[in-house]
Structures are given as structure tokens and as C-alpha cells.
Amino acid sequence: MIRPKVELLDIDLVNQIISEGIAILENPGIRVHNQEALEILANAGAKVDFQAQVAWIPEKITRQALKTVPHEFTLFDLNGNPAVHYFGDKIHFDPGSGGLTIIDSQTERPRLPLTNDLIKFVKLVETLPQIDAQSTAFVCSDVTPEIGDLYRLYLALIYMNKPIITGAFRKDTWWTMKEMLSAVAGGDKALALRPTAVFDVCPSPPLLWSDTTCQNLIDCARFSIPAQLISMPLAGATAPVTLAGAVVQHTAESLSGVVIHQLVKEGAPIVWGGSPAIFDMREGSTPMGAVETWMISSAYVQIGKALGLPTHAYMGMSDTKIIDAQCGLESMGSNFSAALSGANMISGCGMLDFESCLSYEKLVIDAEMIGMVKRFVKGIEVRDNPVALSLMQKSGHKGEFLTLPHTRKWYREEQYLPSEVIDRASYEGWKSRGEKSTFERARDRVEKLITGYQPTKITEELRQELRAITLRAAQSFGMQSLPPLPQGE
Amino acid sequence: MENELFQKMAQSVLDGDSDTASALAKEAVDAGIDPLDAITKGFVTGVNKVGESFACGQAFLPELVMAGEAMKAAVATLEPEMQKRGIQRTMLGKVVLATVEGDIHEIGKSLVGTMLSASGFQVYDLGVDVPAARIIAKVKEVDADIVGLSALLTTTMTKQKEVIDELDKLGLRKKVKVMVGGAPVTRDWVQKIEADGYSEDAIGAVAVAKQILGL
């Protein structure tokens, strides 16, 4: 059986790109605006200019880091079961993260999200089997901005079973988030043994680690919390315009992250991820729906696999402002590219307007896409031997396959069964169901799924502890109380 | 004969060819041509053509940026001659540009700077992550007519208001116009912080800058 796959680079180009990435770390080197990281690099033998905050990393240090980096790891759900295996060509999906607005289901226009929105989003993700992990999807506008990152995690931890892909906006709030995860896991050691969360850490193009993200990277390594590198070259603006050139920059930035990370702790889990894009030469924007964006991502994922690392990509998004045809075509093309490229975690479902807006409706529509692409990469399996000869000889010319036990046995395996979001009725059937658009069907489904959400087994004690941690953080930034949770929850 | 040279100058800007633009500027100096004529009848014609081309989808950002660079190169070559003759290019105004504190995004701001300087503004670009105090200091130092503030994050956008409040406190607000920009900036925000102007893109920014100075 073949696992369908797409590769855009031949082996020589892969090696060339890796060599150039390594060479870039030697010259012009990497900017590191974090004192601790500069010291770590200097101690390891890199040439460091502490004033200019630049490090020149010799090849042998990079090669050594690539030797110690783990080739796989597993994320666990909150019940202690393995849930996401970052390995090989296994694909998993989580929603886009870091959004600022949400599409209002009635007006179909963006608005600022509140606490109840994030809770609803987390619940929705729980009810969608196609989606493997939560994300800290968007910032809630009803809390002070300084706790924007940790507040999302707090809410998610109360309503989720699935593992979560998250990220911090500051150095100090990373610790608060770690404290929460540790409380849920039963201690730092337990958390390291069975990680439930991955932290995104982003270098800035070109070739720069900011103080905050670099510190997050170091702290994740120290506690063996998986760090997901998110290099984001903008081809033609903050990176070379050639697709291959953008991949070289991604390689260099990501390698520098691997080096710093592994110097902090050899063998700590790390992911070769990213969120590159081309730079739109008309609008000066960063289209996630551009096919070239998908190609750059597919290529860097291939590089990550060549280096033996788990991979990730930001795909499955659209640049539209409303849920329309462009939304569908971009999200689907992107999801397909990502699935065929075999990225272990694909972040982006539910997200639109570049990476700024989330939508409940888009999430359920994207869930269908995910169901389809997962089905596609499962390929065509041979269920019987012979494939169909005996069956057809027995069945003859009757054509009554619908009545056969064989059909009943295999149809759920052979076919991805979409929800009513995907319309396959006759014209009259569609009419009789209210002549609904995809968006309207999705909206109905959102409500239906939410009513079916099952609360998790989180203890009251843990809920209080998490709230106390969050409240302490809020108060340290001048916010005296937190928004209330919905009644009876 | 002069016209031929002016046409070549315009073309060098259209082509985004800094070397040729510089060389043609030098040719003009050597031929005793009025440097101001070289600018207004030669190079600026090219800048306007590129702007039009962009507006109707024939040219794109790379052409725009390189045209701006070519313009800069030409002006730099003509500057010493203008100083010698004691003539000054009439600047439309002085603009201080900065990406606000905590924000490192600068592509948009740099594009605005390029277009403004190509269109005849004197631009002082302070770069990224610039504290309000430094912006105000520069505004005072050069006696700026406009300060342009860029922010790409909703978390740093608030610094735009901070600069406006500072200008207010120092009694400079009446004299200095404020333009704001960046992806999260909306018309609502512009109204809320009482900025004077806003543009979706760099080309529009030139028109807005002219308009708020009453030109």
C-alpha cells in the first residue's frame, strides 16, 4: 500500500539547502537578542559578539545538535492516553492560533472575542473527531492584554481532553502557563514524561531570535516541554523571493533554534515547524492561500524530515474576510498540500483573514476537509485477496452490491462519511432542507455539536487551582478579577 | 536635447536603475543643467509614471521600491550641485517616520518613506521599536510637519495614541500632523485617537500627506 506523498525537492537540492543553512549560521551568523542564549552559544564554542548580539555557529556544533535531537515524541491527552504521535508521515491537525477576532455567526463579520467565545471554540474542537489537538485559538478581549496568552490556556485546560498547541507572548507568562500545565499533569516530571502541550517559538525573519521567543525556547528545553519552531520567512520581503531561497532561510533560522535548544538540553523534544509565506507584490500582504506559500512549507517540511525531525506547518487557512468560495478553495488546496507533505502537525483550521480571524463555521467546514485529506492519505487498501475477482464472480451480473454483507462490512472504512455540512442531496432535497449555503449548514452544525459537548473529568480542586493561578497573574498586571465562567460550569 | 536627457532620467526611475539615474544626474551637472529642472522635469516624471502604473496593476511593489531607490540616488548626486548654487529643492514638508516601540515590522513604513521622499517630502526614518520620547525629540529637532507612526500588532498600536498624547502635552499637537498606519489600524481607531490621516497603502499615503498639509 502506498501512502500518497508529494515531494518538491530532489535529494541534491535537499542537501544543498541544508549545507547553505549551516553555512549561513557561520556567515553572516544569527542575531540572538537573549543574553542567556549568547552565553550558552559562547560556552559551546560559537563566536559571539555580546555587544552586537550576534553569534556565528560553526558547522560542527550544528551537526552535533542534529545528532542529539529526538526523531519523535508523543503528546498525551488529559486522561493520560497517547493522542498525537509526532513521527514520520503521520498527520494531525489543530486550529490556527493567535487570532484577534472571531466571525460573528449572525452578522458574518468579525468582532472581538470574549471569554465565552474561547470556551465555545474549545468545546467545538472537542466534539470534532477530525481535529487532533486544541490550540489557544484567539486572544480574549475581556482580559488585560498582559495575560492574553495564559488566559486562553486556562480556559482551554478546563474544557479540553485533547492535547494543546500553545505559545506565550512574554517571558514571565510562560512560567505561569507552565505552572498550569504542571498542576494538571501532577508536577514538572510528570509533565515531561507525558507532555500535553507544545509551545510555539518564533524567530523573526531574517535570522533573528528576539529576547522573548529565545527565552521561551530555552525554558521549554529545560523542562522538556516540546518546542515547535515557527520560522516565517516572507519571500520577497524579509527573505529571498525565490521559493528555494526562502527555504534556505527557513533552514538557517530553524537550525539555529535546534542548536540553542539542544545545547540547553540534549534530547529535549523539538519540532521543525513554520509559517512562511510569499509577499504579495500588489497588496504587501502575506497570503497563506497562495500556492507558493504551500510550496515553501511543503519544501521545508521535506528538509525537516531529511534531518530526522518531527515537523509542523501552518496550513489550511485562507486570506478571505468572509466564508466564501475563495475560503473553500484556499483552505482545501492548503490542507491537501500539507497532508501530502506529511507534516506531523498542521495548524490552521478555522482560521481566515491571513492569521488574524477565527470562525466556528469555518472550523466545522475545515473539519470536513481534514476528514477528506486524512482519508486520501490512507490510500487505497487491499481488503480482500483477490481484490474483487471472487466477489464479482459470485455476484455475477446482478449489481446488488448494496445488499451484500461485504458492502456493509467495508463501507465505513472505505468512505469518509461527511456530516451534513457537505451537501450531496438532490436538488429537491437541498431545497426542502431550506436551500442552505455551506455557511448556513455549518452554523447549524456548530449549534448541534455544542449541545453534544461532554464536560471533562477535571476535578473541582484543579479548576480552583487553575483559576487561582490565573487570577494571581491578572492581579499582578492590575486586573482585580476575572470574567465569570458560564453558569453551571 | 535637454528633453532627451529628461526622458532618459524618467526612464531610469521607471526601470529602477540607480546606477543609470546617478550617471544621468552627473551628466546633467556636467552639462550645467539646473538640478531642480533635472528633478522636476526628469526624475519626478518617472516617479509619477511608476505610481500610475502601480495603481492600474502594471507595476508592483518591487518596481515601486526600486524606483524610489533610483530617485534617491539621483537626488544624492544632484545635492552637492544644488548646495553650490545655493538653491534648495522645495520640500513639500518634513516627515518623521517610525515604527512604534515594541514593534519590529517595517516594510510598510519603509515603502511610505520611499514614496514620500520620491514625491518631494524630506523624510527622517527612525526605524523600528522607537520609543515615543525619541520620536518627539526628532520631531522637535527637525521641526517636522508630519509624524508617521506604524504598528503591525494590536498590542503595540496603542503606542500611536501615546505619541499623540505626548505631542498634546508638549503643546506641539496643533503644529504637527499625525498619520498612522499598519494592518490593525482601522478608521475607527484613527478617529478614536484623533489622528489626522491614514492610508491603506504607501501610494495613498502620499496623497494623504499632501492633503493634510493643505497642498
Q: Tell me, what's the pLDDT at A141?
A: 93
A353-403 per-position pLDDT tens digit: 999 999 999 999 999 999 999 999 999 999 999 999 999 999 999 989 999
Model ipTM? 0.81
pLDDT-based confidence at residue B37 (cuts at 50, 70, 90): very high
Minimal Cβ distance to B107: which of A145, A148, A237: A237
Q: Where in chain A is the domain with CATH 3.20.20.480?
A: 1-380+424-489
- What is the structure's pLDDT at B105? 84
Q: Which residues of A touch B (CB under 8 A)?
A: 100, 145, 148, 169, 204, 210, 236-238, 279, 281-285
* CA distance to partner chain A, nearest, from residue B62 (Å): 7
Contact yes or no for A284 and B184 at CB 8 A: no
Q: What is the pLDDT of residues A261-315, one digit of tens each?
A: 999 999 999 999 999 999 999 988 899 999 999 999 999 999 999 999 999 999 9
Q: Is A204–B104 a contact, with Cβ atoms under 8 angstroms apart?
A: yes
Residue A446 is predicted with a pLDDT of 98
How is the beta sheet containing A270-274 ordered, strand by strand? A134-135, A164-166, A197-201, A227-231, A270-274
Comparing A21-25, A258-262, B111-115, the range with the smallest average pLDDT is: B111-115
- Which residues in chain B are closer than 8 Å to A357, comparing Cβ atoms? none
Q: Closest by alpha carbon to A159, among A117, A191, A193, A198? A: A117
How deeply is A210 buried, as exposed, middle or buried, from its count of CB atoms within 10 A (0-12, 13-18, 19+)?
middle
* Dist. CA A173–CA A149, nearest whole Å: 7
Cell digits for A64?
552535533
Q: What is the pLDDT of residue B13?
A: 95
The alpha-carbon gap from B156 to the nearest alpha carbon of chain A, in Å, equals: 11
- Cβ-contact A129, A92 below 8 angstroms: no
For residue B1, pLDDT beyond 80: no
A81-85 long-range Cβ contacts below 8 angstroms, 24+ apart? A83/A132, A83/A133, A83/A162, A83/A163, A84/A132, A84/A133, A84/A163, A84/A344, A84/A345, A85/A344
Are the CB atoms for A358 and A349 separated by under 8 Å? no
- What pLDDT score does A489 carry? 64
Q: What is the pLDDT of residue A361?
A: 98
Give me the pLDDT at residue B107, please: 82
What residues of chain B lie within 8 A of the CB of A284, using their CB? 61, 107-108, 111, 201-202
In sequence order, what DSSP letters do the residues of A362-414 get, joined into one string?
HHHHHHHHHHHHHHHHH-----SSSSSHHHHHHHTT---GGG-HHHHHHHHHH
- A279: chain B residues, CB-CB within 8 Å: 61, 107
Amino acid residing at A122: V
Which three cell numbers, joined as nine digits, stand for B187?
478608521
The CATH code belonging to domain A1-380+424-489 is 3.20.20.480
**Number of alpha helices (DSSP H) and beta strands (DSSP E) in chain A:** 17, 20
**What is the model's pLDDT at position A1?**
83
A113 contacts on B by Cβ (under 8 Å): none
Domain ranges of chain B: 2-85, 93-212
Beta bridge partners of B178: B147
Supply the DSSP symbol for B171: T
Q: How far apart are CA A221 and CA B4, in angstroms?
A: 65
When CB atoms are compared, the residue of B61, B108, B183 closest to A281 is: B61
Q: Chain-wide mean pLDDT for chain A?
A: 97
Q: Which fold has domain B2-85?
A: 1.10.1240
In whole angstroms, what is the distance from residue B120 CA to residue A428 CA?
64
Q: Which residue of B has its CA nearest to A100?
A: B154
Mind telling me how many Å the CA of B151 is from chain A's nearest CA?
A: 14
Q: Global pTM?
A: 0.92
pLDDT of residue A201 exceeding 90, the answer is: yes
Of A10, A53, A55, nearest in space to A29 by CA = A55
A357, A374 in Cβ contact below 8 A?
Answer: no
Q: Considering only CA atoms, which of A196, A263, A262, A311 is closest in space to residue A40? A: A263
Rounded Cα–Cα distance for residues B192 and A120 (Å): 31
Pick the CATH number of B93-212 from 3.30.9.60, 3.90.1520.10, 3.40.50.280, 3.30.420.40: 3.40.50.280
Task: Read off the pLDDT of residues A86-126 as tens digits, 9 standing for 90 and up.
Answer: 999 999 999 999 898 999 999 999 999 999 999 999 999 99
Q: Do B78 and B32 contact (CB within 8 A), yes or no?
A: no
pLDDT higher than threshold 70 for residue B196: yes
Chain A residues touching B104 at Cβ < 8 A: 204, 210
pLDDT at A107: 97
3-state secondary structure of B152: coil
Q: Does residue B108 register a pLDDT over 90?
A: no
Phi/psi at A10 (5° precision): -85, 165
pLDDT confidence band for B89 (50 / 70 / 90): confident
Report the percentage of chain A scoring pLDDT > 90: 97
* Helices assigned H by DSSP within A240-290: 243-264
- Most A-contacting residue of B107, B152, B157, B189 (CB-CB within 10 A), to test interface: B107
Q: Model confidence over B141-191: pLDDT tens digits?
A: 999 999 999 998 877 888 999 999 999 999 999 999 999 999 888 888 999
- A238, A281, A285 ranked by CB distance to B60: nearest: A281
pLDDT in tens, B5-19: 999 999 999 999 999
Q: Minimal CA–CA distance to A267: which of A92, A64, A45?
A: A64
Q: Where are the beta strands (DSSP E) in A53-212?
A: 54-56, 73-76, 82-86, 92-95, 101-103, 110-111, 134-135, 164-166, 197-201, 208-209
- Res B3 pLDDT > 80: yes
> Average pLDDT for residues A38-54, to the nearest whole number?
98
Chain B residues within 8 A of A237 when measuring between CB atoms: 107
Contacts of A236 in chain B (CB under 8 A): 62
pLDDT at B184: 82
Work out the pLDDT band at B106, boundaries 50, 70, 90.
confident
Tell whether B87 lies on the interface with A, counting CB pairs under 8 A: no
DSSP A138: B
Q: Which of A256, A287, A416 is nearest to A339 (CA)?
A: A416
- Tell me the three cell numbers of residue A450: 455544542
Which positions in chain B touch A283 (Cβ < 8 Å)? Answer: 201
CB B60 within 8 A of CB B45: no
Which three-class secondary structure state does DSSP give residue B193? coil
User: Rounded to whole angstroms, how far apart are CA atoms A352 and A320?
Assistant: 6
Query: With 70 as the cut, is the pLDDT of residue A15 above it?
Result: yes
**Which residue of chain B has the CA closest to A208?**
B104
Cβ–Cβ pairs < 8 A, chains A and B? 26
- Work out the pLDDT band at A488, boundaries 50, 70, 90: low
